[in-house]
């Protein structure tokens, strides 16, 4: 089975040793009142940490896989030992997605995207408001646990779209490039918003880090056309080694 290579952002390999939980890029209380400190403390320190721990446990008997990034493990299920495939994939996905998620929010977040990303959102969704409506509707409709994403197609002129993935799936598995994601597992909102996922989705826009999302969009532009090989995942994110 062919290997999926990863271009930019996150290398396929990492130094040997255990996967580590990265520090949050802000204080636990930084996203208050929209995302409360206790939720963030548990979400990062318990939920994300458990994916990292479980991934290390699943990889314990496979030293050659310990030098692979979590993103590589997620994108290359055919290279994983069959009996451990499901455990490695779901925990690698949980690790990758949460790293991406923390970087998508900021204490100074909110507002609307400007520049080329703002223009592309208007072009492909009609308006920023219509985009948010699509995103929230998809997130609210997703049954059970999963993620909702703003993605960019590799073909069709790089058209933007909204998709959901169950569990800890990632659009890169379907050849789409992720630009932004929101976590709609109950652990992301239940303490503050209880069962009201739609309210959480609405509040979350107040913390979205648009300059970072715009940077990803432009980074994708910059790398477009360099390869049309479907076996190369285009990943315009800066965090490395997860
Ligand atoms: Mn989560």
**Domain of residue 12, CATH code:** 1.10.287.990
pLDDT in tens, 110-157: 999 999 999 999 999 999 999 999 999 999 999 999 999 999 988 777
Distance, CA 189 to ligand 1 centroid (Å)? 9
Residues 154 and 219 in one domain: yes
Count of CA atoms in the C-beta half-sphere (13 A) of 110 = 12
Q: Which residue has the tokens 């969009």?
A: 217
Confidence tier at 74 by pLDDT (50, 70, 90): very high
- Residue 232 belongs to a domain: no
Quote the distance between the C-alpha of residue 238 and its chain's center. 12
CA of 76 to the centre of ligand 1 (A): 22
The answer to whether residues 124 and 168 belong to one domain is yes
How many A from CA of 216 to the centre of ligand 1? Answer: 21
For residues 60 and 126, membership in a common domain is answered with no
Centre of ligand 1 to C-alpha 222, Å, is: 30
Q: 238 in a domain, yes or no?
A: no
Domain boundary among 103, 130, 164: 103
User: What is the C-alpha to C-alpha distance for residues 162 and 19, in angstroms, rounded to an integer?
Assistant: 30
* 34 has pLDDT over 70: yes
Strands (E), 160-205: 160-166, 177-183
DSSP at 86:
H
Residue 163 lies in a domain: yes
Q: Is residue 110 in a domain?
A: no
CATH number of the CATH domain containing 144: 3.55.40.20
Distance 46 CA to ligand 1 centre (A): 10
Indicate if the alpha-carbon torsion angle 128, 174, 172, 26 is positive or negative.
Answer: positive
Helix (H, G, I), strand (E, B) or coil at 7: strand
Q: Do residues 121 and 45 share a domain?
A: no
Quote the DSSP letter at residue 2.
P
Query: Cα of 202 to ligand 1 centre, how many Å?
Result: 17
Tell whether 44 is covered by a domain.
yes
pTM of the model: 0.93
40 and 83 in a single domain? The answer is yes
Whether 242 is in a domain gets the answer no
Together in a domain, 53 and 78? yes
Structural domain for 99, as ranges: 5-24+32-103
Q: Are residues 163 and 121 in the same domain?
A: yes
Task: Give the pairing of strands 5-7 and 232-234.
Answer: parallel
Q: How many angstroms is it from 22 CA to the middle of ligand 1? A: 14
Instruction: Please check whether residue 8 is in contact with residue 219, taking contact to mean a CB–CB distance below 8 angstroms.
Output: yes
The model's confidence at residue 8, banded by pLDDT at 50, 70 and 90, is low
In a domain, 241, yes or no: no
Render pLDDT for 88-99 as a digit per residue (tens, 0 to 9).
999 999 999 999
Do 40 and 79 have their domain in common? Answer: yes
pLDDT of residue 239: 64
d(CA 218, CA 236): 9
Q: Which of 103, 130, 159 is the last residue of a domain?
A: 103
DSSP state at residue 105: B
pLDDT at 169 (0 to 100) = 96
Cα–Cα dist 44/158, whole Å: 32
Considering only CA atoms, give the Rg of the chain: 17
Give the least confident one: 12-16, 162-166, 220-224. 220-224
> Is 138 found in the same domain as 67?
no
Separation of 4 CA from ligand 1 center, angstroms? 25
Number of independent structural domains in the chain: 2
Asked if pLDDT for residue 182 goes beyond 70, the answer is: yes
Report yes or no on 234 lying in a domain. no
Q: Is the pLDDT reported for residue 1 higher than 70?
A: no
Tokens matching residue 113: 């995207």
Choose the final residue of a domain: 80, 103, 126.
103
Neighbours of ion ligand 1 (CB under 5 A): 183, 185
**Tell me, what's the pLDDT at 9?**
63
* pLDDT grade for 230, boundaries at 50, 70 and 90: low
Q: Residue 223: pLDDT above 80?
A: no
For residue 69, whether the previous peptide bond is cis, meaning omega lies within 30 degrees of 0, is: no
* 183/127 same-domain check: yes
Q: What is the mean pLDDT of residues 172-185?
A: 94
pLDDT, tens only, 75-90: 999 999 999 999 999 9
Contact 154, 234 (CB under 8 A): yes
**Rounded to whole angstroms, how far apart are CA atoms 61 and 58?**
7
CA of 156 to the centre of ligand 1 (A): 31
């Amino acid at each position: 089975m062919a290997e999926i290579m990863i271009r930019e952002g996150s290398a396929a390999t990492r130094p040997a040793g255990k996967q580590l939980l990265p520090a949050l890029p802000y204080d636990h209380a930084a996203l208050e009142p929209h995302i409360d400190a206790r939720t963030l403390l548990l979400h990062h320190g318990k939920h994300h940490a458990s994916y990292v721990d479980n991934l290390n446990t699943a990889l314990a008997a496979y030293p050659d896989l310990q030098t692979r990034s979590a993103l590589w493990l997620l994108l290359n299920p055919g290279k994983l030992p069959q009996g451990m495939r499901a455990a490695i994939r779901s925990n690698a996905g949980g690790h990758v997605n949460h790293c991406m998620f923390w970087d998508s929010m900021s204490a100074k977040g909110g507002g609307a995207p400007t520049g080329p990303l703002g223009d592309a959102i208007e072009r492909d969704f009609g308006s920023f408001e219509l985009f948010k409506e699509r995103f929230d509707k998809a997130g609210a409709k997703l049954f059970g646990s999963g993620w909702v994403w703003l993605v960019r197609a590799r073909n069709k002129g790089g058209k933007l779209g909204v998709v959901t993935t169950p569990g800890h799936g990632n659009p890169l598995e379907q050849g789409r490039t992720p630009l932004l994601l929101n976590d709609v597992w109950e652990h992301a909102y239940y303490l503050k918003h209880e069962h009201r996922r739609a309210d959480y989705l609405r509040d979350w826009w107040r913390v979205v880090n648009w300059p970072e999302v715009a940077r990803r969009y432009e980074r994708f532009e910059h790398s477009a056309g360099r390869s049309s090989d479907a076996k190369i995942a285009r990943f315009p994110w800066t965090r490395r080694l997860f």
